Amino acid sequence: MKALIIGTGEYVTGLVHGSKSTSDKGVGIVALTLFDLRQRGLLDEILIAGANGLKFPLIRQHFDQLITQKYGLDSSFRSFPNNDSHDPEAWRKALTELSPGDSVIIFTPDDLHFEMAHESASRGLHVLVAKPIVKTLEEHDRLIKVAQDKQVTIATEVHKRWDPMYADARQRLREMGDASYFASYMSQPKSQLESFRAWAGTASDISYYLNTHHLDFHCWALEGRARPVRVTASASNGVAQSINLDTEDSITLMVDWINDSGTKATGIYTSAWIAPKAEVHSQQRFFALHHQGELRIDQAHRGYQLSTESDGPQSPNPLFFRYTPDSQGRFAGQSSYGYQSIADFITGKGEQLATIESTRATTAILEAGRLSLDTGKPIDLNL
């Protein structure tokens, strides 16, 4: 089986604008995971498509240093465009190299997801798309249709579902009676505003970018038990504008939910990309109250602290992605949830897969949140 990755940014390669990322993903997640899956015999060939062919020599050098020399893993791939041209349509050429049943993994700015996913599925290919899968319910429903017509899987990459604590919490919440209150917070440091300057505020916003994670978790926890009926959004600004980015600093979505029993619940989802440099790259936590219990998770702090001369105090989370090799120097990240969410898509396993059919509510809430900000009014949902 072949797999094509579209996009050569931070999550795929660890490179941002041609420099090593300062985030917690030094050599990225997606390409490294696929190289390991190929080594394990679960994939035959890897293709990577970007918009700028000039980046590939640097990407190969970066992979050679941080993957092949470090773990002894083959990091070769076929690139599109395969010369030094700038070609934003190169992904279409790459698609022609695949056969029905092969896989496409899309990690490009949010406004490109729909077209790339639709074209891939139309060719009989299985598709995994970075969150948020698409930006509107209309696009979401068109993807459901093409997935059904072509009998392929379209899913969104929401790795929190593979975190052992989030997966456990989901099942426990479903045993705790009606939902009552949920509050999540997730942030990225200010430096990411520069990393994402190409699309921040134009192709997407911080709610689409980060609220998706906990929204997906909450919709998954309440699947078949409750439905969202109204979205009211609020935002803060000032920091992004001060560096000439016309986008919000933080966005909060307040969602009214109705449990199947008829009782009401509230969900509040906040995300920000102006956090200061701290002991973690990204703060991420939630609290949930149900009629028969409550729980909270601080996903950023796993009871593991270290400090080094070069980086100062840190709170690492190798449950997300383990870069430290095993005692023989081999890659040892196979049990990380960032790895498993991609591996389960490639192998066709995983009951947690966030399929296009099961994720309508998340897209509806994100779209309504944007509309609420733009109109200054609450938006009713009819799901």
Ligand X SMILES: NC(=O)c1ccc[n+]([C@@H]2O[C@H](COP(=O)([O-])OP(=O)(O)OC[C@H]3O[C@@H](n4cnc5c(N)ncnc54)[C@H](O)[C@@H]3O)[C@@H](O)[C@H]2O)c1
Q: Which residues bind ligand X (CB under 6 A)?
A: 6-12, 16, 25, 49-52, 88, 91, 107-110, 112, 130-131, 196, 198, 209
- Report in angstroms how near the CB of residue 322 gets to ligand X at its nearest: 16
Distances 330 to 45, 59, 71, 316, 322 between C-alpha atoms, Å: 21, 21, 5, 20, 12
Q: Decide whether 198 or 383 has the Cβ nearer to ligand X.
A: 198
Place of tokens 């299985």: 126
Q: Decide whether 53 or 267 has the Cβ nearer to ligand X.
A: 53
- Report in angstroms how near the CB of residue 127 gets to ligand X at its nearest: 14
- Report in angstroms how near the CB of residue 198 gets to ligand X at its nearest: 6
Q: Do you know the residue count of the chain?
A: 383
By Cβ distance, which residue is nearest to ligand X?
9
- Report in angstroms how near the CB of residue 10 gets to ligand X at its nearest: 4
Quick one: which of 158, 142, 179, 185 has its CA closest to 260? Answer: 179
Judging by DSSP bridges, how do beta strands 293-298 and 284-290 pair with one another? antiparallel
- Report in angstroms how near the CB of residue 25 gets to ligand X at its nearest: 6
Maximum C-alpha span of the chain: 60
CB 280 within 8 A of CB 300: yes
Q: Decide whether 199 or 287 has the Cβ nearer to ligand X.
A: 199
CA 296 to CA 300: how far, in whole Å?
A: 12
Q: Decide whether 208 or 286 has the Cβ nearer to ligand X.
A: 208
Q: Decide whether 112 or 356 has the Cβ nearer to ligand X.
A: 112
- Report in angstroms how near the CB of residue 174 gets to ligand X at its nearest: 26
Secondary structure (DSSP) of 5-52: EE--SHHHHSEETTEE-SSS-TT-SHHHHHHHHHHTTS-SEEEEE-SB
Q: Decide whether 35 or 91 has the Cβ nearer to ligand X.
A: 91
- Report in angstroms how near the CB of residue 238 gets to ligand X at its nearest: 23
CB 353 within 8 A of CB 336: no
- Report in angstroms how near the CB of residue 290 gets to ligand X at its nearest: 28
CB 69 within 8 A of CB 27: no
CA 18 to CA 11: how far, in whole Å?
A: 13
CB 12 within 8 A of CB 23: no
Quick one: which of 356, 339, 371 has its CA closest to 208? Answer: 371
Q: Decide whether 178 or 316 has the Cβ nearer to ligand X.
A: 316
Q: Decide whether 49 or 379 has the Cβ nearer to ligand X.
A: 49
Token pair belonging to 80: 């599109």
Q: Decide whether 52 or 191 has the Cβ nearer to ligand X.
A: 52
Quick one: which of 194, 198, 202, 279 has its CA closest to 240? Answer: 194
- Report in angstroms how near the CB of residue 243 gets to ligand X at its nearest: 16
